[in-house]
A = this chain, B = another copy of it.
Amino acid sequence: MAAAIALAEGTVPRRMTALARIWRKRCASPPADFPRWPLERISGRVNDRLPSQRAPRAARGKETPMPTVQPKAIVFDTFGSVVDWRSSLIVDLTAYGETKGVKADWAALVDAWRAAYHPSMDRVRKGQQPWTKLDDLHRASLDHLVAEFGIKGLSEADLEHINLGWHRLHPWPDSVPGLTRLKSRFIIGPLSNGNVSLLLNMAKFAGIPWDMIFGSDLFQHFKPDPETYLGTAHLLGIRPGQLMMAAAHNNDLAAARSCGLLTAFFPRPGEYGPHQKRDTKAEADWDIVATDIQDLATQLGV
């Protein structure tokens, strides 16, 4: 597999070797029921990522087609990238608490809830816990936090309603118009750690026009496990290099790229509220760097 990359047109820059190493480590052994696709055909795309290291056009000869970034499908990280989970949940829970007469620092609860997100998935990813869908991980974290915050007076129905707050997230202003434009030319879907029902209910709530929902329960793996990225390409019947991962999170794109996907970054500097420190800008030469999803559509010529 590394050889297939190394054999791509001409010089192999040092960064390619690192990429090949990551690929070998992460993606050499997809699940046994995954098909093998022709890996050698990604070479054009890999070089396309490294314009400054690419041989000049003249040296490649006229018969070499210019690689272009034109995916067949684009999948989107959802929490933070398409929807504003933090503001949505703070507004939703504050209003609900007022209705129910339950006082709490809802903003702090939401931040703590999100802080529990990655550790809870990592327990599943590391095999310390059997497959558990995100709704259930959210609920376990919520129960823990309600006790920790000393919040009193919430019934089982209240807790269930609060937990389903993740199904009622609002999109960023550019998300629905940008996705609607992209849908006219590309297959679009979420590739998210949310389960199918969460993402589908959110789409119905927020009017997000997905073509297909790639929930983590389809793969029984959370990102950044390669089964999610490769599994999506497999279900779409396309090669990883024909699939673009679009996200506001550099680490998601790094994992997608290590599996051979195209990548698009757009920042969401307000995702974590006033305290955001990470993902304020692109940290690698992603195939596309956009200001938001509308700009992504523009850059893809839609």
Q: Which residue numbers of A lie inside 8 Å of B, CB to CB?
A: 33, 131, 135, 187, 195-197, 200, 203-204, 210-213, 215, 217-218, 235-238
A200 contacts B217, C-beta separation under 8 Å: no
CA distance A195 to B212 in the complex (A): 13
Contact residue among B135, B200, B238 (Cβ-Cβ distance under 8 Å from A212): B200
Q: Which residue of B lies closest to A232 (CB)?
A: B196
Which residues in B have their C-beta under 8 angstroms from that of A211?
A: 200, 203-204, 210, 213
A215 contacts B235, C-beta separation under 8 Å: yes
B135 contacts A195, C-beta separation under 8 Å: no
Which residues in B have their C-beta under 8 angstroms from that of A210?
A: 211-212
Check A196/B236 contact, CB under 8 A, given A203-B211, A204-B187: yes
Task: Give A192 Cβ to nearest chain B Cβ, in Å.
Answer: 13
Which residues in B have their C-beta under 8 angstroms from that of A235?
A: 195-197, 215, 217-218
Contact residue among B33, B197, B237 (Cβ-Cβ distance under 8 Å from A197): B237
B187 contacts A212, C-beta separation under 8 Å: no
Interface centre among A195, A212, A235 (most CB of B within 10 A): A212
Contact residue among B195, B204, B236 (Cβ-Cβ distance under 8 Å from A237): B195
Which residues in B have their C-beta under 8 angstroms from that of A217?
A: 235
B215 contacts A196, C-beta separation under 8 Å: no
Which residues in B have their C-beta under 8 angstroms from that of A213?
A: 211-212
Which residues in B have their C-beta under 8 angstroms from that of A195?
A: 235, 237
Interface centre among A200, A203, A215, A236 (most CB of B within 10 A): A200
Task: Give A137 Cβ to nearest chain B Cβ, in Å.
Answer: 14
Q: Which residue of B lies closest to A209 (CB)?
A: B209
Task: Give A142 Cβ to nearest chain B Cβ, in Å.
Answer: 17
CA distance A180 to B284 in the complex (A): 41
Which residues in B have their C-beta under 8 angstroms from that of A200?
A: 187, 211-212, 236
Which residues in B have their C-beta under 8 angstroms from that of A203?
A: 211
Task: Give A196 Cβ to nearest chain B Cβ, in Å.
Answer: 5
Can you offer 6 A-B residue contacts whose CB atoms are under 8 A?
A135-B237, A187-B204, A196-B235, A197-B236, A200-B211, A200-B212
